[in-house]
A = this chain, B = another copy of it.
Amino acid sequence: MKLASLDTGRDGRLVVVTKDLSRQADASAIAPTLQAALDDWDRHAPALRALAERLERGEVPGAPFDPARCAAPLPRAYQWADGSAYVNHVELVRKARGAELPPSFWTDPLMYQGGSDGFLGPRQPIPLADEAWGCDMEGEVVVVTRDVPLGATREQALGAVVLVGLVNDVSLRNLIPNELAKGFGFFQSKPASAFSPVFVTPDELGTAWREGKLHRRLEVFLDGEPFGRADAGVDMTFDFGTLVAHAAKTRSLCAGSIIGSGTVSNRGPDGGPGKPVSAGGAGYSCIAEVRVVETLRDGAPKTPFLKRGNRVRIEMRDDSGASIFGAIDQAVGG
């Protein structure tokens, strides 16, 4: 089933959405919010699924589904932890600044603790007070878990995944070097992230969801031009089971925890950085990566970071070309 939150109140209003994203039905009689549904998933999921099936069959009236009326499926969450599972991406970024990739990065997941007290809806503009901060998009896949016990194994962790979605993990690149140099990780350099209109249960993904990875291309557009189409199932060094287990090593995770894949990134056929979409490659899911490629090739980056008025679109389609999660489609705002 597919779930969304209408943009009303702090936590939204839960709706189920048809597979083709055309219609919605109010689900607030079952659970007022997605967090409430997740807090008691065993009880609420069957009722939500039954409602979704009746909506699909036209047995409940429903209403047109409009992503512009959506908040993030979890407008605020108790946990947002973002991995960096495409180690290829990490290696590239380091190479551009002349730093070696520690060998442990291939075996020990990199993950940062994100801020989760307010997310952007799929069509809300990215607030950007200062263009000099170097605003970038990062196209990623996320999973949402039920409760995960402290010390969960990879298998337990993967079994706790109940929803899958997309995120634009907005980053302020020019604030990152100073912040990371301080040693405590990201804070100001990671403003509010934006999420896809709907999160879906793994069964909606069919065989594309296997081995803890989502084997579909993540389409990223900048001002309408194709920017990336990397396969999220390729070059993902750590699957979601491993990422969730990493997050739960020393503490339990609350139902509704959102765990991200990190920027989706594919190597080129030669094992090096991939080519731009315009050159037939898989392109990039963030601007930083193309700047790294430009730096390695030309000695300096050429593609600028986001400016006010730029537009970012992130989406994923099934074999028939239908959008699975709906599109994150945001302007960069003032």
Question: Are the CB atoms of B76 and A112 closer together than 8 Å?
Answer: no
Question: Are the CB atoms of A113 and B110 closer together than 8 Å?
Answer: no
Q: Determine whether A246 belongs to the interface, using a CB cutoff of 8 Å to chain B.
A: yes
Known: A127-B150, A185-B184, A250-B133. A115 touches B192 (CB 8 A): no
Q: Determine whether A91 belongs to the interface, using a CB cutoff of 8 Å to chain B.
A: no
Question: Are the CB atoms of A187 and B76 closer together than 8 Å?
Answer: no
Question: Are the CB atoms of A182 and B113 closer together than 8 Å?
Answer: no
Q: What B residues does A187 contact at CB under 8 A?
A: 81, 111-113, 246-247
Majority secondary structure of chain A interface residues (helix, strand, loop or mixed) = loop
> How far apart are A162's CB and chain B's nearest CB, in angstroms?
15
Question: Are the CB atoms of A188 and B257 closer together than 8 Å?
Answer: no
Question: Are the CB atoms of A118 and B251 closer together than 8 Å?
Answer: yes
Question: Are the CB atoms of B151 and A129 closer together than 8 Å?
Answer: yes
Question: Are the CB atoms of A250 and B175 closer together than 8 Å?
Answer: yes
Q: Determine whether A324 belongs to the interface, using a CB cutoff of 8 Å to chain B.
A: no
Known: A129-B151, A246-B188. A113 touches B111 (CB 8 A): no
> How far apart are A283's CB and chain B's nearest CB, in angstroms?
25
Question: Are the CB atoms of A182 and B79 closer together than 8 Å?
Answer: no
Known: A129-B150, A186-B113, A186-B184. A191 touches B250 (CB 8 A): yes
Give residues in A with beta carbon < 8 Å to B: 10, 39, 76-79, 81, 84, 102, 105, 108, 110-118, 127, 129, 133, 150-151, 172, 175, 180-192, 246-247, 249-254, 256-257
**14 extra interface residue pairs, beta carbon distance < 8 Å, beyond A10-B254, A188-B250, A189-B250:** A76-B254, A78-B78, A105-B182, A110-B182, A110-B184, A113-B114, A113-B115, A118-B254, A127-B251, A129-B150, A172-B250, A184-B186, A191-B251, A192-B251
